[in-house]
Amino acid sequence: MSDILTHVETGVMTLTFNRVDKKNSITRAMYAALADGLERAAQDAAVRVVLIQGDATVFSAGNDIGDFQAAPADPGPREQQPVWRFLRALASFPKPIVAAVCGPAVGVGTTLLLHCDLVYAGDNAAFALPFVNLGLVPEAGSSLLLPQMFGLHRAAEALLLGEPFMAEAALEVGLVNRVVPPTECNAIAQAQARKLAAKPMSALIATKRLMKGGQQAAVLARMDEEGEVFGRMLHEPAAREAFAAFAQKRKPDFSKL
């Protein structure tokens, strides 16, 4: 069975993380499937809304570290690589995107939500942005979008310390719309997606574009800038130490870096 399930019904394309035994950590094959789904949905008139969801116990633990380290760099332009295809498709998606988040949402499991229009969280949701702790920098345009949403100091706390914050804190800063019981979260998000799908598509698309305020170009440019720095820092000593510590199940030592 696929690690990304794709289902279309009543105008809603549901993309489901289906790798619960690995905490829905995302491989490059999963990024490619997500990108394929979004690219298809953008062009398919039968798809009016996209819903991204996980399990009641876990949304996503972020990148699969083993896959991330083992796979060689993809040939060709970065824009053709699975993760960048997904992030760019997400940031430029013209129709509404709804997300249902329960349990851990780590790294890209949190940053992807910045590009969703409605986000519903289980009361067990735990968000974390541990990029600095891995010797890296944020991605998905989050270094631009997070200070705008959270305010500078709260964004700094989330990105510089990388400590988890829970659903109620996410609600307070506007990352999520509502906190609900985990067993009801996917169904509530699905119901909201169907409400959107019943509305006039032209009005939804135009309203979303107006709310973005012409910011798409700036977000895509920031994604490119983040990607360049991320790629460079991935090969520097801090990241090597962080990944070695992860593999050896020990605390990293950055004291000399």
Give me the pLDDT at residue 73, please: 54
**Cα(86)–Cα(138) distance, rounded to whole angstroms?**
16
Q: Is 229 part of a structural domain of the chain?
A: no
Is the residue at 121 inside a domain?
yes
Question: What is the per-residue pLDDT across 92-138, written as a single tens digit (0 to 9) for each?
Answer: 999 999 999 999 999 999 999 999 999 999 999 999 999 999 999 99
What CA–CA distance (Å, rounded) separates 96 from 119? 11
Average pLDDT over residues 194-202: 98
- On whether residue 12 sits in a domain, the answer given is yes
Q: Which residues on adjacent β-strands are paired with residue 97?
A: 50
Contact 233, 239 (CB under 8 A): yes
Q: Is residue 48 part of a domain?
A: yes
Measured CA to CA, the distance from residue 223 to residue 220 in angstroms comes to 5
Inside any domain, residue 168: yes
When divided into structural domains, the chain yields a total of 1
Over residues 214-229, the mean pLDDT reads: 93
Q: Please report which confidence band the pLDDT of residue 1 belongs to, taking 50, 70 and 90 as the band edges.
A: confident
- Residue-number span of the structural domain to which 74 is assigned: 4-182
- Cα 223 from Cα 143, distance rounded (Å): 9
In a domain, 243, yes or no: no
- Residue of 122, 22, 120, 15 lying closest to 62 (CA atoms): 22
Domain annotation covers residue 177: yes
pLDDT at position 72 is 53
Question: How far, in Å, CA of 196 to CA of 26, rounded?
Answer: 28
Residue 84's domain is classified under what CATH number? 3.90.226.10
What's the chain's average pLDDT? 94
Long-range contacts at 63-72 (CB < 8 A, ≥ 24 apart):
63/25, 63/26, 63/107, 63/108, 64/22, 64/25, 64/26, 64/27, 65/25, 65/243, 65/246, 65/247, 67/25, 67/27, 67/28, 69/243, 71/28
Selected residue with higher pLDDT from 66 and 78: 66
Residue 215 within any structural domain of the chain:
no
How high is the pLDDT of residue 256? Answer: 83
pTM: 0.95
Q: Is the pLDDT of residue 3 over 70?
A: yes
